[in-house]
Structures are given as structure tokens and as C-alpha cells.
Amino acid sequence: MSFPAHRPRRLRQTPAVRRLVRETHLAPSQLVLPLFVREGLTEAVPIGSMPGVMQHSLDSLRAAVTDAAAAGVGGVMLFGVPEVRDARGSGADDPRGILNVATEAVVAEVGDALVVQTDLCLDEFTDHGHCGVLADDGSVDNDATLDRYAAMGIAQARAGSAMLGLSGMMDGQVAAVRAALDGEGFIDTMILAYSAKYAGAFYGPFREAVDSQLKGDRRTYQLDPGNGREGVREALIDVDEGADIVMVKPALPYLDVLAEVRASVDVPVWAYQVSGEYAMVEAAAAHGWIDRRGAILESVTAIRRAGADAILTYWAAEVAGWLREQ
């Protein structure tokens, strides 16, 4: 009888051995929790397409970030939902706008315990739902939008945001915001560039979460799902313009892009496990079709394995709790 020359199963024989030789590890500090705060609410409101996720009032937001800090997550990413919108997204840089007010509240609550981050994009604040201001022909005016991003960045930095998440996919956005921040003395405010953000089908529940007014699509500024090299190019441009961290979004459908970006840049690389990824797992688990906890941990581990140094996920606090149990 011929015996196997190699026996890799030796390294799988017990839980202790598997833990000892595991290549990819998760830690609570590698997780960032996205949170939605809606102007005018007096209590949290569930988001139907994202079970367990809420639109928060200021009070419930304070409680949520306190819980996140206690769980040990690395940070929170704040999204604001205003009561009033207009064509230029005026609420985005209004010091009393919901996102800036919420940022001040969260920084006061947990700013020493985790990294408070803010979404820098106009889509939640515009009455047309696009990520920039519109030209007369209805297209998104890239360079006019940069001026709005610069104003928004300064407002968020003044509110206390430690890291600005530039998610609009405008050409030159990192350079424009970096110059504006430095010009106002916010040299320590970090920039997270959503460098490889793809125009795909996984954002539907998010649009419910922010009450998006979008008509049409964002394919003239977000990346085509068929393009991998372009995502790497965008990341390299953003690093050159001064991004401190670059992002791939969504995560699971673009693990190949994530791995290529990780291999191509020398700054931290993050990934966003978006609302559609979250909703699919929750829906399948609710029907009893998959093991919820197992699927969540496996999906987050896959993102880490592909090269993400940190992950934005709506399960951040829950996963952090599981990791602490272990």
C-alpha cells in the first residue's frame, strides 16, 4: 500500500491546532460600524431591508456609539439624512446640518475611544440624489462638485471628524479636499478615499436607509463592474493625491480588485461590506437556509484574507462581541 507523502490534515486535526496555524485573523479593532442618523427623529426607526439596522435619532445614536466603543470596534462611519434637500446639497456643509451636529455629539461621547469618521458625499443632501451638483444638461459637474466637497470637508473637520470618507468618485476629489483641509489648518484630519467604488446592484438597501432621491444611475462616475485594472489605477491616483487610506466597495463581489489594490499601494486598504451583502445573508438566515453566524464570520474573514486591513460592516459591533467571546 502506498501512503501519502504529504499530510496537510495534520494541521487541521483539533481546534487548538487550527487556531495556532490560522493564516487570517479577525480583531474587533479591524471593524468599522456604519451608522445612519436622521434629522427630526425622537427615537430609532428600523430599516426594513436591513434587519437590525436603524435610522437613529441623536439620542439613540449616542447609545449606539457607546455600545460600539464598548465592543471594541475600531471606528464608526456616520451618514446623515436631512429633512430638507436642495440641488446643491446645502445641508452638507451647514454647521447645524444633521451630519455635522451628529459628529459633534459622537466625538463628545466616544471620540477618545474610537475613530469617528464621516461620509463626505452630497447624495444624501441633494434633491436629485446624485453625488454632485448638476450641470444644465443634467450631468454631474465634476469640478463644481469639488468646490462643494472642499466646503463639506472643512465643515466636517470643524465638527470634529477624525477621518473623512470621500465616497463621491469625482476626479481630483482627494487633492481638492486635502488642499482645503490643509489651508484651514486641519493637517491631521485623515482622508479615506473610496477609490474603487463600483456602480452595481448591491446598494439598494442603503438607498432606503438614507431615503435616497436618486433617479437614474451613477454609472458616469462610479466604476464599471467589468473593470479591475481601473480600480487599481484609481487607488494609485488617490494615494498620489494624498489619501491616507484607500477603499474598495462593495467587498465580496470585488475581492480580486481588493487583492490587486493591496498589492499595488503602500497605504492601508479597507473594504466596505455593503447593504446588499448584509441583506442577502440576513434574508437567507431568516429563512433557515444558511447558518447566520457562520456565514457572517466567513464573509468577513474572506474580505480580510483578500487584503483588507479594516472592514466597514453593519455587523461590526456584533462580530466584535463574538470575537471577544472567543
CA dihedral of 153, 158, 161, 165, whole degrees rounded to 10? 0
Cis peptide before 250 (omega within 30 of 0): yes
Contact of 172 with 141, CB cutoff 8 Å: no
Per-residue cell: 255: 475581492
Return all residues near 95 (Cβ < 8 A) that are at least 6 apart: 155, 158, 159
Concatenated DSSP letters of 71-91: HT-SEEEEEEE-S--BTT-GG
Contact of 113 with 76, CB cutoff 8 Å: no
Catalytic residue among 148, 249, 262, 304: 249
d(CA 140, CA 226): 22
Per-residue cell: 70: 464598548
The verdict on whether 215 is a catalytic residue reads no
Catalytic residue among 178, 197, 262, 304: 197
d(CA 244, CA 241): 10
Q: Which residues pair with 163 in a beta bridge?
A: 117, 190
Tell me which residues are annotated as active site.
197, 249
